[in-house]
Amino acid sequence: MNKSINKSTAWKKLASHYRWHKNEQMKDLFAKDPKRAEKYTLQLEDLYLDYSKNRIDSKTIRYLLKLTQEVNLKQKIEAMFSGAKINQTENRAVLHTALRNRQNTPVFVDGKNVMPEINHVLLRIKSFSEAVRFGKFKGATGKKLTNIVNIGIGGSDLGPFMAVTALKEYCSKDMTCHFISNIDGSACDDVLSKLDPEKTLFIVVSKTFTTIETLTNAKTCRQWLVDALGEDAVAKHFVAVSTNAEEVAKFGINTDNMFEFWDFVGGRYSMWSAVGLSIALMIGMENFEKMLDGANAMDIHFRNTDFKENIPVILALLGVWYNNFFGIKTHAVIPYDQDLRFLPKYLQQLDMESNGKSVDLNKKFIKYSTGQVIFGGAGTDVQHSFFQLIHQGTQIVPIDFIVPAISHNEIGNHHEILLANALAQGEALMTGKTTKQAVAELTKAGKSKEEISQLKAYKTFQGNRPSNTIVIKQLTPYTLGMLVAMYEHKVFVQGIIWNIDSFDQMGVELGKKLALNILPELKGSSPVSHDSSTTNLINLVKSLRK
């Protein structure tokens, strides 16, 4: 039984340290140490983490690193990589890292090396994606399949959608990729209305092939295809990523075109597997493998690097510092790259589904904070939406700025302006603007004493607001792989510190099960017992639909 982390010596030292240093100004820390930025910058190949703009000093880091000793983090990391069943509530191994194990070292689950199966599926993805891309696998009428439609939800959608968008510069120019996830019928209609059935390939992604949202959407798309090309066309225009061969065959999909993945791969960690088939189809297998290579480089760094120089570990510890000692419950991720605009949405699932837990591994309700609310969007758009709150609101929101130094589209001076904004935001959040500085600016602008008196408080910025800046040389399949793996390992470390199972998602199920009770009532069956609000809402919706 693991001891509650908030009772540990390291936790108590951090609590005391926080009380003494909670009001310390970062700009004073920079003034005291001219080498602060150098001291708090880490590098892995072309990825750099500057975490100097955080409310920390060397003692803070020392105490945070003590937490990793209290929870035996090194042993827990080895347990994950070696195939131990660290997903305790479901008695499963957690081996998304094996999917990008480019050294092909054996990884055993229940005494069986899983690498031959993983390699076999990778070869099948390569063979099929190349057959489609080069026109060898054709549709029912002999036309090349140039429209790819991924039908899935959650981890079967968010990862591929984010990656295909992020890597659009690497996508085949004669192909398009569409994603259908929402059960709302307009999601299907919006996609299907744009497509030619003769040139469309559907990928149905569902491990069990029973997920109601995915199968409902898949059946709608199937009917659309059959109406246009006939029943026999299904086998030429549908493939599956699943483990349920019987249901796949019933649907009309040739099981030779079913791509398997495993229980040791959770949905939100699955884009490295056959779930990433749409990525491979769009960017080509060579680039898909480069994405695996980048993730593998981060895996090796995470597994082997001393924690004080370990990028995911440091990010995780900073999150614990703000969450559990400052009481900050939110965290923003702001990529200054339009192609990465869906990365924050992907990270919402990765982080909040993993660590949004209130029961620890001892089956005890937790008395300290876990998880944070993750949100974000692409800079500079978000500077004109929620950055007002971040700069001058009453809540402090730590930020990760993600900044590619080189753009794929160096048009005019667009990217230089973008970079200037990205770097300025971190500086502004840290330094702020004193009332004295505000008065000086207003005076220089020719404002009267009355106007200055009126405006000076509104022009004041408290500053001392933390951020990390993650710089990559350029957004490529390799650096995208590094970035995503970095966040995966950050989430893992926080879960270990909080003593929770980061790999189940039981909170996702309750509402879905209750929806299955309500569905027959909307169709006219006798109501079951609900609270008065839900009963009234069911009756209201039914009456409006008449």
pLDDT tens-place string over residues 110-155:
999 999 999 999 999 999 999 999 999 999 999 999 999 999 999 9
Does residue 494 sit in the same domain as residue 535? no
Distances (CA, A) of 47 to 301, 471, 539: 12, 6, 55
Q: Which amino acid is at 346?
A: Y
**CA-based end-to-end distance of the chain:** 57
Query: What is the pLDDT averaged over residues 231-259?
Result: 96
Known catalytic residues are 353, 384, 512
Q: Residue 18: which CATH number?
A: 3.40.50.10490
Q: H/E element holding 468?
A: strand 467-474
Domain edge (last residue) among 286, 319, 351: 286
Does residue 352 sit in the same domain as residue 475? yes
User: Does residue 53 fall inside a structural domain?
Assistant: yes
**How many Cβ atoms sit within 10 Å of the Cβ of residue 44?**
20
Does residue 517 sit in the same domain as residue 500? no
Domain edge (last residue) among 286, 321, 337: 286
Does residue 282 sit in the same domain as residue 354? no
Query: What is the pLDDT averaged over residues 288-302?
Result: 98
Does residue 13 sit in the same domain as residue 130? no
User: Does residue 455 fall inside a structural domain?
Assistant: no
Question: What is the per-residue pLDDT across 179-206, written as a single tens digit (0 to 9) for each?
Answer: 999 999 999 999 999 999 999 999 999 9
- Could you list the residue range(s) of the whole structural domain that residue 56 is in? 5-70+305-431+465-504
Does residue 378 sit in the same domain as residue 514? no
User: Does residue 388 fall inside a structural domain?
Assistant: yes
Does residue 255 sit in the same domain as residue 309? no
Query: What is the pLDDT averaged over residues 489-510?
Result: 95
Does residue 335 sit in the same domain as residue 410? yes
User: Does residue 170 fall inside a structural domain?
Assistant: yes
Confidence of residue 528 (pLDDT cuts 50, 70, 90): confident
Does residue 237 sit in the same domain as residue 331? no
Tally of domains in the chain: 3
Pairing assessment for the beta strands 112-113 and 147-151 based on DSSP bridges: unpaired
User: Does residue 35 fall inside a structural domain?
Assistant: yes
Question: What is the per-residue pLDDT across 370-402, written as a single tens digit (0 to 9) for each?
Answer: 999 999 999 999 999 999 999 999 999 999 999
Average pLDDT, the chain: 96
User: Does residue 164 fall inside a structural domain?
Assistant: yes
Does residue 495 sit in the same domain as residue 516? no
What's the rounded Cα separation, in Å, for the pair 400 and 420? 16
Nearest to 345 by CA among 336, 332, 357, 356: 332
Tokens found for residue 104: 């092909």
User: Does residue 17 fall inside a structural domain?
Assistant: yes
Question: What is the per-residue pLDDT across 252-279, written as a single tens digit (0 to 9) for each?
Answer: 999 999 999 999 999 999 999 999 999 9
Name residues whose C-beta falls within 8 Å of residue 216's C-beta, 6 or more positions apart in sequence.
183
User: Does residue 300 fall inside a structural domain?
Assistant: no
Confidence of residue 2 (pLDDT cuts 50, 70, 90): low
Q: Which of 380-384, 496-500, 514-518, 524-528 has the lowest mean pLDDT?
A: 524-528
% the chain with pLDDT above 70: 100
Does residue 208 sit in the same domain as residue 244? yes
What's the rounded Cα separation, in Å, for the pair 375 and 353? 13
pTM over 0.85: yes
pLDDT for res 434: 95
Does residue 242 sit in the same domain as residue 218? yes
Longest dimension (CA), the chain: 81
pLDDT for res 511: 87
